[in-house]
């Protein structure tokens, strides 16, 4: 029974050489040596193998101009099918009905009130009072600009992915992604390098040993014995960021039932967590609908001008907040305030 064992323990029983176990664990499944279960490791390996051969010899795709183009693409597709975007309208507060405990609307910093049946907010926008009882993990990150690639290849236009195994037991592996100028993320003749791992200490303490192993730092003195071909770091920044990907909705204090929280980036390679989280929230709000169905053929789309009557719309915008006869409660603190009101008659 391997369900209760780690993936590393499972591999050790399959008559594989230590070298092959190492490559499966860190280069194919790309999972933790100590924390990953056998089932999760097998699923990660299966996904890697299923992605091979779709767009070349690698199972990976990287968007031009960086990961920010993925939500941009979704927003454009959403707009085609009627999505409305209120740009440059930061949220000032949520309006919560005292009787039902549900959020009725948001008020932006212009005083404009926007009503809807459901509200989805990213974790960092919530006030400190709502997040008091939340225990967050941390991610260690480093971003470098270098003068050449860590990969010795004929082409200078390569995107490289490298997993650096932990030196000590219990330490996390470090994921290194190196982007070339053809990805439109850095200038010509430079490379943009991202290093990421779950935090155990500060980002510099977690990642600088890997940086020193792969690159020459500007602080290092030139020596005759300097290793040839090792890239030089032109610029570097280290920082820790909050990982809210594993936080349950019940952990937030006083969150209205129709307000859903999505997390920021996690430490994993890819966007699996974001897609899974989006599907979970969608199914809670619309259990009878299909999640991300294939887009229809443009020639088959029929547009009807009066498809939704104004009174039936689930989304409405008021030019300004309405006067309230009841006493309202508001709380603020570094994020979204919550404003409560009685039922409007």
Q: Please report the pLDDT score of residue 310 as a whole number.
A: 45
Q: Which residues sit opposite 107 in a β-bridge? A: 93, 113
Considering the domain architecture, whether residues 25 and 91 belong to the same structural domain is answered as no
Among the candidates 61, 86, 110, a domain finishes at: 61
CATH of the domain at 256: 3.50.50.60
Task: With respect to residue 254, please indicate whether it lies within any of the assigned structural domains.
Answer: yes
Among 137-146, 199-208, 294-303, the range scoring the smallest mean pLDDT is 294-303
Task: With respect to residue 131, please indicate whether it lies within any of the assigned structural domains.
Answer: yes
Task: With respect to residue 19, please indicate whether it lies within any of the assigned structural domains.
Answer: yes
Q: Please give the residue range of the domain that contains residue 3.
A: 1-61
pLDDT tens for each residue of 275-285: 999 999 999 99
Work out the average pLDDT over 211-240.
80
Among the candidates 21, 43, 61, a domain finishes at: 61
Alpha-carbon distance of 91 to 86, in angstroms, equals 10
Task: With respect to residue 179, please indicate whether it lies within any of the assigned structural domains.
Answer: no
CATH of the domain at 21: 1.10.405.10
Q: Are strands 137-146 and 233-243 parallel, antiparallel or unpaired?
A: antiparallel
Task: With respect to residue 155, please indicate whether it lies within any of the assigned structural domains.
Answer: no
Task: With respect to residue 160, please indicate whether it lies within any of the assigned structural domains.
Answer: no
Task: With respect to residue 129, please indicate whether it lies within any of the assigned structural domains.
Answer: yes
Give the E-state strand segments of the chain in sequence order.
91-97, 103-108, 113-116, 119-122, 137-146, 160-164, 174-179, 191-198, 233-243, 259-262, 315-318, 329-331, 337-341
Considering the domain architecture, whether residues 251 and 330 belong to the same structural domain is answered as yes
Q: Please report the pLDDT score of residue 298 as a whole number.
A: 73
Considering the domain architecture, whether residues 29 and 113 belong to the same structural domain is answered as no
Q: Please report the pLDDT score of residue 38 as a whole number.
A: 93
pLDDT higher at 301 or 341? 301
Largest CA distance in the chain: 83
Task: With respect to residue 12, please indicate whether it lies within any of the assigned structural domains.
Answer: yes
The total of structural domains in the chain comes to: 2
Among the candidates 61, 78, 107, a domain finishes at: 61
Tell me the CA distances in angstroms from 58 to 53, 120, 129, 201, 223, one per residue in order: 7, 35, 46, 33, 38
């Amino acid at each position: 029974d391997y369900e209760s064992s780690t993936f590393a323990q499972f591999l050790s029983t399959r008559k594989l050489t230590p070298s092959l176990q190492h490559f499966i664990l860190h280069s194919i499944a790309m999972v933790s040596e100590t924390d990953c279960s056998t089932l999760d490791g097998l699923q990660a390996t299966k996904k890697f193998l299923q992605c091979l051969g779709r767009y070349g010899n690698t199972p990976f795709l990287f968007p031009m101009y960086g990961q920010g183009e993925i939500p941009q693409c979704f927003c454009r597709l959403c707009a085609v099918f009627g999505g409305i975007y209120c740009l440059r309208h930061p949220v000032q507060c949520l309006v919560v009905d005292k009787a039902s405990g549900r959020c009725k609307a948001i008020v932006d910093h212009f005083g404009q009130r926007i009503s809807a049946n459901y509200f989805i907010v990213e974790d960092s926008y919530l006030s400190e009072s709502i997040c008091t009882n939340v225990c967050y993990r941390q991610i260690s990150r480093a971003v470098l600009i270098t003068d050449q690639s860590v990969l010795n290849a004929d082409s200078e236009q390569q995107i490289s992915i490298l997993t650096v195994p932990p030196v000590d037991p219990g330490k996390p592996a470090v994921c290194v992604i190196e982007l070339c100028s053809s990805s439109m993320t850095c200038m010509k003749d430079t490379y943009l390098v991202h290093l990421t791992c779950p935090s155990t200490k500060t980002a510099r303490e977690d990642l600088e040993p890997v940086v020193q192993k792969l690159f020459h730092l500007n602080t290092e003195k030139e020596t005759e014995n300097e290793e040839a071909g090792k890239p030089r770091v032109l610029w570097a920044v280290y920082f820790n960021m909050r990982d809210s990907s594993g936080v349950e909705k019940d952990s937030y204090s006083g969150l209205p039932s129709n307000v859903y929280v999505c997390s920021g980036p996690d430490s994993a390679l890819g966007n699996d967590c974001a897609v899974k989280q989006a599907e979970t929230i969608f199914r809670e709000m619309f259990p009878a609908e299909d999640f991300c169905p294939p887009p229809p053929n443009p020639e088959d789309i029929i547009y009807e001008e009066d498809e939704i009557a104004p009174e039936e719309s689930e989304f409405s915008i008021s030019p300004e907040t309405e006067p309230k006869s009841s006493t309202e409660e508001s709380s603020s603190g570094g994020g979204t305030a919550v404003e409560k009101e009685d039922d409007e008659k």
